[in-house]
Structure 1
Amino acid sequence: MSDSAAVSPSATRAMKIVAVLAAISTLAAVVWSSSLPLWLGLRVYSEQVLLIVLSCSMAITLMTRPRRRGSSRPPDRFDHGVALVALIWGAVMVIRFPVLSQNVFYHPTEALILSSVGIVLLLETVRRSMGWALIVILGLVVLYALFSSNLSGPMQSRSIRWDRLLTFMVLDSASLAGAALYIAVAVVVPFLILAQLLLQTGGSAFFSDLSLALAGRKRGGAGKIAILGSALFGSVSGSAVSNVASTGAITIPLMKDGGYRPRTAAAIEASASTGGQLMPPIMGASAFLLAENLQVAYGEVVLAALIPSILFYVALYIFADLEAGRRGIASVEPSRIPAMAGVMAKGWFVVVPFAVLLGGLFVLNMRPETAALYAVLSLFVLSLFKTYEGGRIKASALVEAIVKAGRSAVEVVLICAIAGIIIGLFSRSGLSFGMGFFLVKLGEGSLILLLLVTAAVCILMGMGLPTVGVYLLLSTLAAPPLIELGLNPMSAHLFVLYFGMLSMLTPPVAIAAFVAANMAGAPPMRTGLEAVRIAWPAFVVPFLFVASPALLFDGAWWQVVLALGTALVGVYFVTAGVVGFLWGTVGPFARLALITCGAAALWPPGAPMAFGVMAVGLAGCALLVVLLRPGVRPGQAAG
């Protein structure tokens, strides 16, 4: 059967409808982010715009995701009918929201019907797209809110009547259409447009060629190219899985051809792609939510995340170099490496929107969504004259970028909608107080124990949730007790965000590692374990910046330099011990010595006996360099 015959007319119509709905979502977000209603003198509630995007996202999910997850049977007429109900619900909510938000008690029946329909639609679309994890969490919180008066002790609270609970979940501005959904629509969508427009103008190819030109001639060049390319592209996409799918198609075969084992190639790609969620300047959706939660400028979040991100990628780069030395992996064939001058001559325009974005954020103090829209505008204007592959951008490519941005936003919108309800119920029901009380009591006994518990919960929750969902929930539950116990607020929230991200690499459900393993033809579980070995600094760095806020640029310049310098030394030597290679292959006792001395050098300046431990560690590292250096063999000079 031919491809044309395989797609039925009804399926083609459905695809066109989905494209239109995705475009409407994107354009609605742009209209609101650009403050166009204000300029036109129109009185529009932010919740009305959010509900338009939410109803379109629910309809897209119903039309594209099968009723049974994993089923090959596509959505049918029943699903399309339910999608129509979602759109009608959204239209009614947009029209009636101004009345219901101010006079809900005068329209109890209408409010209850709309709330019931909205909750059922949201739960079904979340189930289809992400499974049961968030729904189970919501169910437990709802049960608490309904029966909390029957409990005793700190967990006792005043129960909420079921009808009031239902209307609160959907109609209250602190719930469904709250801050979380606002960030997803007004802030994240403009950045998704920028990412998609970069793809349409050849930005992904530019990043790949730039990485080849920078690292291709060095030892283990294929692995270093993967790390640099994934860092560059990941900082734009903000999604670990899409980053693996985009850059991994090029880098994983390149690494395998270069001599890396399939599981190592997949693990390097998964680790590098996952780190993009915390790599400035754009990072992932969670970074915007973090800025909103702390009520700080997005630029402050970017600055705080910079050193931890550098440590993470430096460690990956060191691993790729030392692993190449241990296995004798050479550089990439010269014929495959483009000239740097040629790459920049073809792709200089890709740098412009980043300059516009950073200038808007740090020089002009723009809101992130405004800076992103100016970056999109600058890239679009340049693309009318030039793309990386040559020629000009076509109108169809621009439309495709708008549609893909809308489709990329669907999952984030649904997560933020249901997470907003959960967060609203945490506060309304008193659950946040009860849980916070227990966590504070735990932390009074041992702060490190509370940090370990928080890290474990983040990773466990991340096995069923994307990073955004983990951060939204844990920032409400775990971050406030950490702050109450004396932690820097930025440290507490970044700690939660880091470990939520690491669930993408940590077995038994390491989504990014499993996707990369499938592309490399490697065993998924062994790839996940390899990713944990490679990305070990990401499990340590959060504890470092909790003990030493200087790693988040919170301190005097000499404290920042000292913390960064000792951390880099420690990361290098611990990684050398993990790989088993320094100037040459080293034995088990030398590996243990490298890890011990490196860990001592990593000891954060704010920890007990910091300077003594660091001095011993640095001296031990220097001694190991002398003792383990047999002479550099040909072809093993570090890249």
Structure 2
Amino acid sequence: MPATKQGAAGTGLSPALWRPVADTLAFLVTLTAICWALSVPRYLGLGFYPQQFFAAILALVLPIAFLTLPARRHEAREFVPWHDALLALVSFAAVAFIAVGYPQFVLQIFSRPVEVWLPGIIIVVLVLEALRRATGWALVIIICAFLLYALFGNLIPGRLQGRPQNWQLLSGYMALDSNGILGLPMSVASTVVVAFILFGTLLGITGGSRFFTDAAMIGMGRFRGGSMKIAVLASALFGSISGSAVANVVGTGVVTIPMIKRDGYPGHKAAAIEAVASTGGQLMPPVMGASAFLMAEFLAVPYSSIVMAALVPALLYYVALFIQADLEAAKMGILPLPKSEIPEGRIVARGIHFALAFAVLIYLLFWQHYQPERAALWSAVVLIVTSLAIGYRGQRPTLRQIFDSMSGTGHSVVEIILISAASGLVIGVLNVTGLSFNLTYSLVQIGGGSAIVLLALSAIVCIVLGMGLPTLGVYVLLAALVAPALIQVGIDPIGAHLYVLYFGMMSMITPPIALAAFAAASIAKSPAMATGWAAMKFGWLAYIIPFLFVFSPTLLLIGAPVDIAIAIATAIVGVWLVSAALAGYFVARLSPVLRTLFAMCGLLALVPAGAFSGAVFTDVIGVIGGIVLMASEIMRNRRDPAPAEG
């Protein structure tokens, strides 16, 4: 008989029983993904549909969710209630049944046999329940609205009226079709995301995460506002791999936020800059977040194309953060970190082997054109070998830790797998009902064919839809609902998808539901809303630059090299001027009039010359006016130096 115990939640499975089961399933998730990425079935002469592999991953993930996630979120779990154990068993059986019989069942979807629609209903319901436990109600409610539309779309008046679907057909379609649960989002999450999460987990156990924080301290700790700059740099490096703004805040913020506060920054500003830096990590090449890999699949372009397009906007994003960190430090009189807190260069230099793993990753991705998951796995092998041979600060991973990292990776990807599976439901509804075309047409009609009106409307839709949702779920929704309308009015497809990704992610730092900002506020023990508003101020460029790169692809590295260079140079000048205006400080405090002039010249300089006819003149006016303003402030401060605020 299994071990049981009476507790607050009633009789259930004891930790001695359910935890090994969950860990084993998590290990199998990672192992299965690795075997598929390395084409092990093909070498063994076995043939499978990709959807059978996705179903196998889901069959392992759903039981983990029901074993580890309590019905009430944030509730401690020790004993697993019998009903959750039953849900874990039923979910495994239903999805495994689909996985095994997929070659026959996929041909019978439209004939609606009970062996197709009954498991389909079970899988859809259990995916939504597991998603609710992992992420809350917001995404579940949105997906349920889509499913109701699929069933009763004929009752919607006007252009958005849809074709009603038979419930038996719909359940089978969602569970088996490549446009449903087992579709493109699951493809990316089950391969690319698992591989990169494994890489990130290995960085943690080998000391790589500590190395990057130490390197950031050496690089930035000797400058004023060094703690803020360390947070920006460390979060950019870690967030690129983590794929989650909130996970990045929690992972790096526990170190950086207390450091920033200790230097004298207010708690809400310390939390805000960490939240903004963590959010931007998912926009930062070479790895970026999981959404970037999905974007490459949506657009059917090489991942390297996405990286190159995202490079300049991401760099400008962090340039703006660095400048604001520096100006805030100057205004408040924040000194560099004490020398005692900065690690010795010769010690940190011993961790340079971690850079080799990233060099291998970049080489395989961009020169050898490996699939992202394969490149990540080979980089992980290099990381393990060099860490075992060299180590860092006396830290070498044990074989047990490496083995356990497989299980840890499986647990880490549960939420992303669930979001991806649920996102397939949205894509399925859009395809089967024709809502995708209808919504695109309606947005274009509302915008009156005007690109600027449609962009403004889309930005609002993106931020509203993104509130309370994880990044991957936000992007899938926006890529399906909003991006086609932008492409319809002539915007470059990569620009359109980056546009919705930027504004979808800005929901992470935009009140009233700013998940990344609120997570940082909880660490800093600062007011949540004050942190959210400060995060919006620090992340101001992310609200502007998407408009710029859709009108002028030079910021996406599309165009003549000279035009690209000029656009980047003027944008940097503009970023500096607007950041100074927002901080109210350049080399000394700025009066309200000067702040207004700095902001006006900065915004004019930000506009790329190719954005519209005559934009070259706005560039010239902004840059010349900005240079004059900065020069006059420098000269005035030399004549009459003003002490920094303490």
Superposition TM-score, scaled by structure 1 size: 0.95
CA contact (8 A) 1:193 1:402 kept: yes
Aligned residue for 1:311? 316
Partner Cα distance (1:163, 1:132) in 2: 25
Superposed displacement of residue 103, structure 1: 3.7
Deviation at 1:106, TM superposition (A): 6.3
Look up the match of 1:168: 173
Is residue 2:234 matched to residue 1:229? yes
Residue equivalent to 1:272: 277
Q: Does 1:514 align with 2:541?
A: no
Match of 1:563 in 2: 567
Give the match for residue 52 of structure 2: 48
Q: Structure 2 CA distance, aligned partners of 1:327 and 1:122?
A: 50
The letter for the 1-side match of 2:598 is L
Distance 1:389 1:45 in 2: 46
Alignment CA distance shift 1:442-1:210 (3 Å): same
Whole-angstrom CA distance in 2 between matches of 1:30 and 1:83: 24
Structure 1 residue 104: deviation in Å? 4.2
Instruction: Provide the C-alpha distance between the structure 2 equivalents of 1:149 and 1:370, rounded to a whole number of angstroms.
Output: 45
Contact 2:552/2:610 (8 A) holds in 1: yes
Cα RMSD of the aligned pairs, angstroms, is 2.0
Whole-Å separation in 1 of the counterparts to 2:75 and 2:351: 42
Moved more, 65-74 or 361-370: 65-74
Unaligned runs of 5+ in 1: none
2:405 counterpart of 1:401: yes
- With 190-199 and 118-127 compared, the bigger mean Cα shift is at 118-127
- Write the mapping of 1:135-534 to structure 2, written as runs, cut at 5 A: 135-151=140-156, 153-344=158-349, 346-534=350-538
Distance 1:287 1:10 in 2: 40
Shift of 1:153: 4.6
Shift of 1:158: 3.2
On the 8 A contact 1:324/1:330 being kept in 2, the answer is yes
Cα drift, residue 54 of structure 1? 1.1
- Which secondary structure does the structure 2 equivalent of 1:311 belong to? helix
**What's the CA shift string for 1:453-482, capped at 9, x where partnerless?**
211111112212111111111111111111
Which consecutive unaligned segments of at least 5 residues does structure 2 have?
1-6
* Contact 2:110–2:169 under 8 Å retained in 1: no
2: CA distance between counterparts of 1:339 and 1:398? 28
C-alpha contact 2:160 2:439 (8 A) present in aligned 1 = yes
1:497-516 superposed Cα distances (whole Å, 9 cap, x missing partner): 11111111111111111111
Q: Does the CA-based 8 Å contact 1:349-1:382 persist in structure 2?
A: yes
SS at match of 2:447: helix
Provide, for residues 333-366 of structure 1, a one-character-per-residue CA deviation record: whole Å limited to 9, x for no partner.
011112334312x211111111111101111111
Give yes or no for contact 2:244–2:471 (8 Å, CA) kept in 1. Answer: no
Q: TM-score, normalised by structure 2?
A: 0.94
Residue aligning to 1:631: 637
Change (3 A) 1:594 1:45: same
Cα gap change, 1:91 to 1:30, in 2 (>3 Å):
same
Name the CA shift for 1:273/1:413 in 2 (closer, same or farther; >3 Å).
Answer: same
Structure 1 residue 73 displacement after superposition: 6.0
* 1:539 alignment partner, one of 540, 543, 547: 543
1:90 alignment partner in structure 2: 95
Q: Is the 8 A contact 2:220 2:229 kept in 1?
A: yes
Q: Which residue identity is paired with 2:637? A: G
CA contact (8 A) 2:331 2:588 kept: yes
Classify 1:519/1:626 alpha carbon distance in 2 versus 1 (closer, same or farther; 3 Å).
same
Describe the SS at the equivalent of 1:582.
coil
- Distance in 2 (CA, whole Å) between partners of 1:147 and 1:625 is 61
Shift of residue 408, structure 1, vs aligned partner: 1.4
Q: Partner amino acid for 1:436?
A: T
Q: In the alignment, what sits opposite 2:610?
A: 606
Aligned length: 632
Aligned to 1:549: 553
Identity within the alignment, %: 44
Cα drift, residue 77 of structure 1: 2.2
Residue type matched to 1:48 in 2? Q
Q: Note the alpha carbon deviations across 1:253-277, whole angstroms, 9 max, x for none.
A: 1111111111111111111111001
Does the Cα contact within 8 Å between 2:197 and 2:413 map onto a contact in 1? yes
Say if 2:179 and 2:431, in contact at 8 Å, map to a contact too: no
Rounded to whole Å, the distance in 1 between the matches of 2:567 and 2:406 is 43
Deviations 1:5-63 (A, max 9, x none): 99998123222221111111111111111111111111122112111211222111111
Conserved? CA contact 1:386–1:393, under 8 Å: no
8 Å Cα contact 1:219/1:636 also seen in 2: no
How far off is 1:490 after superposition? 0.5
1:106 to 1:213, Cα distance in 2 relative to 1, 3 A: same
Q: Would you say the 8 A contact 2:610–2:616 is kept in 1? A: no
Instruction: Judge conservation of contact 1:146–1:159 (CA < 8 Å) in 2.
Output: yes
Q: Is the 8 A contact 2:286 2:307 kept in 1?
A: yes
CA distance in 2, matches of 1:452, 1:134: 24
Partner of residue 15 from structure 1, selected from 12, 19, 26 = 19
2:119 is matched with which residue: 91, 110, 114? 114
Q: Deviations over 1:108-161 (max 9, x none)?
A: 011121111111211111111122222222222223222334555533443221
SS for the counterpart of 2:509 is coil
Match of 2:3 in 1: none
- Cα distance change on mapping 1:104 and 1:478 into 2, 3 Å: closer
Secondary structure of the 2:343 match is coil
Would the alpha carbon gap of residues 174 and 623 (structure 1) be closer, same or farther in structure 2, given more than 3 Å must change? same
Amino acid at match of 2:181: L
SS in 2 for 1:458: helix
CA distance 1:106–1:238, shift in 2 (3 Å):
closer
Distance in 2 (CA, whole Å) between partners of 1:482 and 1:458 is 12
Q: After alignment, is 575-584 or 450-459 more displaced? A: 450-459
